[in-house]
A and B are shown apart, each in its own frame.
Chain A
């Protein structure tokens, strides 16, 4: 696939002229983050799909009314949040969704859960450091490389470096 490095702002300007290529490029850049956010909140592929469709369809409909100081990411983020609330609200009208609401949505509104949002995000939460690999957990090829390094009379630093590279430490 050919990569497009045009900034979002330029593509949004092109959107004003009903440029379908610009619209599709914007869609390809942002759909996944919106989809994963919606899925994380609603735990349903169908709902997440429906929300992404609605958000981008509404962006296309509003393309000629976008303000000059328009921020696409802020717009998409606000829209997807609003759509998630609408979806949860609509689910409450259906009795078959009651169990889902009670088990998945309502606990999220508890004070203890909401307090998590105020905690600073650490790198450890986002990118957990892999634990040390025990010899018994290594694959045969990893063990072989370690053995070769040991017998080639490398220094401990050399062996350590080889292991770190091999295990992505």
Chain B
């Protein structure tokens, strides 16, 4: 298959205009899971997890719009 044909096929799929056989082909490709495992150490995983979460926070800005409630001990310490 040529790149151009695949490009047209995927564009039709995204627009919802593809033929049933094309839908089947794209969905079958999506359902094949690559067995080669992603090699990440626990530390790398934690770093990546926090990086992505920070990006989501920056994108949605939810910490500013919905700040977390302070725990009871923090509320008391602010009184002093």
Contacts and interface: CB of A to CB of B under 8 A. Distances in A.
Tell me whether A and B are bound partners.
yes
Interface of A: 18, 20-21, 23-24, 27-28, 31-32, 35-37, 39-41, 49, 52-53, 56-57, 60-61, 81-82, 84-86, 88-89, 92, 98, 101-102, 105-106, 108-110, 113-114, 116-118, 125
Contacts of A36: 37-38
Nearest to B30: A81
A160 B59 CA distance: 57
Contacts, number: 96
10 contacts: A27-B53, A35-B38, A35-B48, A49-B55, A53-B59, A56-B56, A105-B6, A106-B6, A109-B25, A117-B31
Contact of A89 (B7, B25, B36): B7
Contact of A114 (B13, B32, B45): B32
A160 to B, nearest CB: 31
Chain B, interface SS category:
helix
Pairs A-B, 5 closest by C-beta atoms: A40-B34, A92-B7, A89-B10, A36-B38, A57-B59
A23 to B, nearest CB: 7
Interface in B3-46: 3, 6-7, 10-11, 13-14, 25-38, 45
A116 B56 contact: no
A113 to B, nearest CB: 7
B6 A101 contact: yes
Contacts of B37: 36
Contact of A106 (B1, B33, B52, B66): B1
Chain A, interface SS category:
helix
Contacts of A109: 1, 6, 25, 29
B77 interface: no
Contacts of B25: 109, 114
Contact of B60 (A21, A61, A98, A101): A61
B13 to A, nearest CB: 6
A106 B10 contact: no
